[in-house]
Structure 1
């Protein structure tokens, strides 16, 4: 990955935080822009075209949750990875963040080294062509098609809007079709690093993914107490 070509937008109302994060990311070769006014974030992002956004949750007037929803509703940004950087460390806060469409959630105070690792991991997963098998660019199941090369998912030829993490999760399940994937294995494989994020994170992402897949969600089976499996055979709910 050419990190010098990767652009990161940081939105936080605390200049000390944006300055610290920007300084360290720039030192690693990233192109970084910062904003302390969340109201200007969407307009600025259209001009900057970031590859990844880091958002504070607790901001006046427009908070990170609202801003993430605006990004996800905008075709220009709905697929870019979003990291929440916040002092709100309770489990229900993290779950709300993931349900909003965030790809990662880092609590303050945080380790700069860990933040850089997570940024790199998200950008790696979001890169078109990442982890492709040489001879197959598409995965098929009923009306569901995942195109690795174009980074597109369709159901009955209609595009499905997925975040980078949801796409990677679905891709991994489809690639390992018929094999049970434990929650712990999914955390390491999909998030690309060892983490202390609760395994409930996986359940939150799978629930969102199923909602977006509609009838084709039946391909994803819950293996109670263990994890998930993408069915080898067409479920009755899928057609």
Structure 2
């Protein structure tokens, strides 16, 4: 169950939320500022954080920034009086909403649900798998896995890095020096040829007559196939 964690000096926000009939699906936890420890109470929070501002801005901004270092859950600030300058500072520090209080229970409930929807949609977009395709090769970037005809190919870390670099520079000549930089190898150019040979043996139908990773004599290599995402 998703949680709403409320930080306040007076126990008032919880009773406001309980008045909203829409709010029965959430668990509410309340802490005073004195008892609240962001590392302890927010490490595994899935939901929303509400802060009732009752302190100076000089104390409040560092708190928001410390919270943001611990968690990405949305933060709603409730303030006694709306101030556009203060709102801008709080939002830049990491807050998601800056709202004047008192507020109607239904309005507060709707805002909580809205910021959580936005937060989880952003997280979903971040975690959504990015897939590259060329020929019969499929690359799952997030998992760093490569498949050929739905069979996984075992690439080591440097082979994978070289393949991605060549794809990124598709259609352009890539020198051995560039590839050495890409995989943090700075002395032995021959290592690049060894990795290229290994890549070709795994992704090419005819490694001795490659159609993807072509050798450009005296210059380097060029990836010669369009890929799609």
Normalised by the size of structure 1, how large is the TM-score?
Answer: 0.46
Flag the structure with larger Rg.
2
Normalised by the size of structure 2, how large is the TM-score?
Answer: 0.48
